Chains A and B, each alone.
Chain A
Amino acid sequence: MSELMSLSDAVAATVRDGDTVAMEGFTHLIPMAAGHEVIRQRRKDLTLIRMTPDIIYDQLVGMGCASKLVFSWAGNPGVGSLHRLRDAIENAWPNPVTYLEHSHAAMANAYEAGAAWLPCAIFRGYIGADLPKVNPTIKHIDCPFTGEKLAAIPSIRPDVAVIHAQKADRAGNVFLEGIVGVQKQVVLAAKRALVTVEEVVEDFGPRSLNATILPSWTVTAIAHVPGGAHPSYAQGYYTRDNAYYKAWDAIARDRDGFLSWMKTNVLDSGPQAFETQRQRLAAGAGR
Chain B
Amino acid sequence: MPDYTSSEMMTVAASRALRPTDVCFVGIGQPSAACNLARLTHAPEITLIYESGTIATKPNVLPLSIGDGELCETALTTVSVPEMFRYWLQGGRITVGFLGGAQIDKYANLNTTVVGPYDKPKVRLPGGGGAPEIATSCGEIFIIMAQGKRGFVDKLDFVTSLGHGSGGDERERLGVRTKGPTKLITDLCIFEPDPETREMTVTSIHPGVSRDQIDDNTGWKVAYAAKVAETPPPTAIELEALRALYARTKKAHGDQA
Q: Which of B11-19, B63-71, B214-222, B228-236 is the contact stretch? A: B63-71
A74-120 with Cβ < 8 A to chain B: 74-75, 77-79, 81, 86, 89-90, 101-105, 108-109, 111-112
Q: Tell me if A215 counts as interface (CB < 8 A to partner B).
A: no
Return the chain A residue nearest B109 by Cβ. Answer: A128
- State in angstroms the CA–CA spacing of A184 and B81 once bound together: 10
- State in angstroms the CA–CA spacing of A75 and B112 once bound together: 11
A112-B65 in contact (CB<8A): no
Chain B residues within 8 Å of A179, by CB? 52-54, 67, 71-72, 78
Return the chain A residue nearest B92 by Cβ. Answer: A124
B132-A285 in contact (CB<8A): no
Chain B residues within 8 Å of A6, by CB? none
Smallest CB separation, A152 vs chain B (Å): 14
* With known contacts A77-B65, A129-B162, A130-B160, A123–B80 Cβ distance under 8 A: no
Q: Tell me if A250 counts as interface (CB < 8 A to partner B).
A: no
B165-A128 in contact (CB<8A): yes
B56-83 with Cβ < 8 A to chain A: 63-69, 71-73, 78, 80-82
Return the chain B residue nearest A27 by Cβ. Answer: B67
Q: Tell me if A258 counts as interface (CB < 8 A to partner B).
A: no
Smallest CB separation, A237 vs chain B (Å): 10
B162-A28 in contact (CB<8A): no
A285-B69 in contact (CB<8A): yes
How many residues on A have C-beta within 8 angstroms of the other chain's C-beta atoms?
Answer: 54
Q: Tell me if B44 counts as interface (CB < 8 A to partner A).
A: no
- State in angstroms the CA–CA spacing of A84 and B225 once bound together: 46
How many residues on B have C-beta within 8 angstroms of the other chain's C-beta atoms?
Answer: 58
Q: Tell me if A239 counts as interface (CB < 8 A to partner B).
A: yes
Q: Tell me if A127 counts as interface (CB < 8 A to partner B).
A: yes
Smallest CB separation, B136 vs chain A (Å): 5
Q: Which of A8-16, A34-42, A240-248, A260-268 is the contact stretch? A: A240-248
Chain B residues within 8 Å of A52, by CB? 129
B128-A90 in contact (CB<8A): no
* With known contacts A129-B159, A178-B69, A235-B69, A185–B127 Cβ distance under 8 A: no
Residue from B52, B80, B89 in contact with A27 in the complex, judged by beta carbons closer than 8 Å: B52
- State in angstroms the CA–CA spacing of A285 and B162 once bound together: 40
A129-159 vs B, CB cutoff 8 Å, 1 = contact: the mask equals: 1110010000000000000110000000000
B3-36 vs A, CB cutoff 8 Å, 1 = contact: the mask equals: 0000000000000000000000000110000000
B156-178 with Cβ < 8 A to chain A: 158-162, 165, 170-171, 174-176
Given A125-B136, A178-B69, 16 additional A-B pairs, CB 8 A: A28-B52, A73-B126, A75-B125, A105-B130, A108-B84, A112-B86, A124-B137, A127-B162, A128-B171, A129-B132, A129-B161, A131-B132, A179-B72, A179-B78, A235-B69, A242-B253
Interface positions of A (Cβ within 8 A of B): 26-28, 51-52, 71-75, 77-79, 81, 86, 89-90, 101-105, 108-109, 111-112, 123-131, 134, 148-149, 178-182, 184-185, 233, 235, 239-240, 242-243, 245-246, 285
Q: Pick the 7 closest A-B CB pairs, nearest first.
A: A27-B67, A128-B162, A75-B126, A73-B129, A77-B65, A78-B64, A105-B133
